[in-house]
Amino acid sequence: MEEKPLRNTEHLRRVFEVTLNRVLLTWKELQTKKKRVSGKIHNTFKAGSYSVPVSEIVAVRETEVDSRTKDDGRWQKMSQKPSEAYPYAFTVSCVERASRHRWRCSDVTFHCTDGLVCQQWVQTIREQLSLLTCRPKHLLVYINPYGGKQQGKRIYEEKVAPLFSRASVSTDVIVTEHANHAREHLKTEAELKKYDGVVCVGGDGMFSEVIHGLITRTQRDCGVDQDSAEERLVPCGLRIGIIPAGSTDCICYATVGINDPVTSALHIIVGDSQPLDVCSVHHNNTFLKYSVSLLGYGFYGDVLADSERKRWMGPARYDFSGVKTFLTHNYYEGTVSFLPATDVLGSPRDKTVCTTGCYVCQRNGQLLSEANQDYRVDEDASDSECDGDWRVIRGKFLAINAASMSCACPRSPKGLSPSAHLADGTTDLILVRKCSRINFLRHLLRHTSKDDQFDLDFVEVHRVRKFRFTPRHCESDADLQLDLREGGAGKRLFSQICRDHPACGCTPIYSSWNCDGEILPHAAIQVGVHSQLIQLFARGIEEKPVFEDAGVPCVA
């Protein structure tokens, strides 16, 4: 319902007619002045109408006109002449888009002549905000004080907490004290019914802790056996927010478009929601890990394994290990079998980028939901009936990667699989066969270029729902123990020496799986994609910067 128009002026003496409905807060300039600049903020625009969606209003408050107040670290000055004619004011804090998907919280202050009218505007806007049920009111926050540059606590207290406070979002904050603290707390102690969401302050490792704890708790409460690779997992009811403060923030970059704490905090405040697929990884009917971004065997597994032995180097260890692994040029023999996703929209090479409101994710999610309903009708249906649809590839591989999202990051803006989708129920399986070192370098360089990632004869990509990998010389644990008893320890030690000193020319039998930055204990794995298993406080990457289309005036 549209409110009665209100004339307002701000300190440049411009007069606006302001209207509010359930969708937009709009102000139309009735009188224009010459261009002026106040400090670093441009307060002049062409005559016209400006608006902000109600859904992107952070808060509203009454403003003292005849005083200087400091709010959230920003000084607000009011000139005396307008205050004589317009002694009352209210300030609307709202989302403003800057460059490269960055969001800021901007203030727009309106002055009026009647105090009662001012209070009515504040009350009406607050009532409109209260109708936005998607917004969180109470959050559980985990802060990793050790990740990245050990700035997580400071980032939260200085940049995020003030925004939550302004938006009237209450929080229970837990500073983690050891590895898997958040995971274990979510699994056992957290009273999840009290909260509207869970927020992790840290890097990808912290996010992994949170999703493992939340998914495990959800499956346990619903009686789902995680060790069964054929189980259909129950989606989690709480959304997850990520405040980037780690050495790697891949998930945040791929779902928001930038690693910026303020931007992520604003996405949480406005109650954005982005579904996300999750891969479950099993070995011999034993659950190992969940993955939301990258599963990498061969090159990326070797880089991670080597970098873990050089943690003393800090973030530089990744570059060092990457160069070393590239020069080693190890390949691994094995068998990859996969179930192609033939019934979905899109393909890994169609150049369709997953963005806000992605049609591919929506449509494929709907198709999968309908298929699951059919499955419930016929409970005898199983993947064993579709064995004929599985494809099998044997060979020597430099890398085997499964990308459930683009895996874009500042160093690789397009990522490993530019057309991978966040919530379409599939993962892109990328097989890089044995090739020359120079050809493999060509493949790696394409992650930073605009060329087709997969337009190489030794690279193939498949969009799949499930896949399995078995190394050529896969041995059971019992075989390994027998090998050790019969003198195999010397061979295994020599194999490790060869890995650390590749000049000897020996090729190791096994690589390691890199599962979202963590090493898996087994090489033989089975992977299944669970469509839209979790929800993030995000909206995907917006297709084009809205800030270029229209401005929202700021008052300083």
- pLDDT value at residue 280: 97
Task: Report the range of poorest mean pLDDT among 179-183, 258-262, 310-314, 385-389.
Answer: 385-389
CATH code at 429? 2.60.200.40
| Whether residue 358 is found in the same domain as residue 502 | yes
Q: Which has the higher per-residue pLDDT, 497 or 343?
A: 343
For 136-151, the pLDDT digits (tens) are 999 999 999 987 678 8
Residues in a beta bridge with 432? 399, 459
CATH code at 49? 2.30.29.30
β-strand pairing of 525-536 with 518-519: unpaired
- pLDDT value at residue 284: 93
Element (H, E) at 532: strand 525-536
Crossing angle of helices 204-221 and 181-188, in 10° steps, is 20
Contacts of 208 (CB under 8 A, 6+ apart): 290, 516, 517, 518
The stretch 288-295 carries a mean pLDDT of: 96
- pLDDT value at residue 344: 87
| 8 Å CB contact between 481 and 450 | no
- pLDDT value at residue 43: 34
- The average confidence (pLDDT) of the chain is 82
User: Is 50 exceeded by the pLDDT of residue 53?
Assistant: yes
Residue after which a domain boundary falls, among 114, 130, 146: 130
- pLDDT value at residue 131: 93
Q: Which has the higher per-residue pLDDT, 78 or 526?
A: 526
For 344-366, the pLDDT digits (tens) are 888 999 889 999 999 999 988 88
> Does residue 389 carry a catalytic annotation?
no
Residue 153 falls inside a structural domain:
yes
For 298-319, the pLDDT digits (tens) are 999 999 999 888 777 766 777 8
Number of structural domains (the chain) is 3
For 522-553, the pLDDT digits (tens) are 999 999 999 999 999 999 999 864 444 434 43
Residue after which a domain boundary falls, among 130, 157, 191: 130
Secondary structure, 3-state, 373-406: HHHHHCCCCCHHHHHHHCEEEEEEEEEEEEECCC
Residue 343: band (very low, low, confident or very high) from pLDDT cuts 50, 70, 90: confident
Maximum mean pLDDT: which of 39-48, 113-122, 173-182, 495-504: 173-182
Task: Report the range of poorest mean pLDDT among 14-18, 451-455, 474-478.
Answer: 474-478
User: Is 50 exceeded by the pLDDT of residue 475?
Assistant: no
CATH code at 175? 3.40.50.10330
| Whether residue 160 is found in the same domain as residue 192 | yes
For 116-169, the pLDDT digits (tens) are 989 999 999 999 999 999 999 999 999 999 876 788 999 999 999 999 999 999
Q: Which has the higher per-residue pLDDT, 95 or 10?
A: 95
- pLDDT value at residue 115: 87
Domain holding 422, by residue range, is 277-373+388-484+494-532
| Whether residue 94 is found in the same domain as residue 66 | yes
| Whether residue 91 is found in the same domain as residue 209 | no
Q: Which has the higher per-residue pLDDT, 47 or 457?
A: 457
- pLDDT value at residue 374: 57
Residues in a beta bridge with 269? none
| Whether residue 284 is found in the same domain as residue 268 | no
Secondary structure, 3-state, 255-314: HHCCCCHHHHHHHHHCCCCEEEEEEEEEECCEEEEEECCEEEEEHHHHHHHHHHCCHHHC
Residue 512 falls inside a structural domain:
yes
Maximum mean pLDDT: which of 3-12, 375-384, 485-494, 518-527: 518-527
| Whether residue 324 is found in the same domain as residue 409 | yes
For 31-50, the pLDDT digits (tens) are 554 443 333 323 333 456 78
| Whether residue 352 is found in the same domain as residue 442 | yes
Q: Which has the higher per-residue pLDDT, 330 or 318?
A: 330
Contacts of 471 (CB under 8 A, 6+ apart): 332, 333, 334, 509, 510, 523, 524
Residue 238 falls inside a structural domain:
yes
| Whether residue 183 is found in the same domain as residue 291 | no
| 8 Å CB contact between 280 and 290 | yes
Residue 456: band (very low, low, confident or very high) from pLDDT cuts 50, 70, 90: very high
| Whether residue 194 is found in the same domain as residue 287 | no
Catalytic residue among 196, 204, 249, 302: 204
Contacts of 500 (CB under 8 A, 6+ apart): none
User: Is 80 exceeded by the pLDDT of residue 255?
Assistant: yes
Residue 86 falls inside a structural domain:
yes
Residue 514 falls inside a structural domain:
yes
Residue 550 falls inside a structural domain:
no
User: Is 80 exceeded by the pLDDT of residue 248?
Assistant: no
Q: How many CB atoms lie within 10 A of CB 211?
A: 25
Residue after which a domain boundary falls, among 111, 130, 149: 130
Residue 117 falls inside a structural domain:
yes
| 8 Å CB contact between 261 and 314 | no
* Sign, CA torsion 448/451/454/457: negative
| Whether residue 126 is found in the same domain as residue 240 | no
Residue 335 falls inside a structural domain:
yes
| Whether residue 306 is found in the same domain as residue 444 | yes
| Whether residue 285 is found in the same domain as residue 226 | no
Chain Cα centroid distance, residue 61: 32
- pLDDT value at residue 162: 96
Contacts of 131 (CB under 8 A, 6+ apart): 22
Task: Report the range of poorest mean pLDDT among 92-101, 240-249, 453-462.
Answer: 240-249
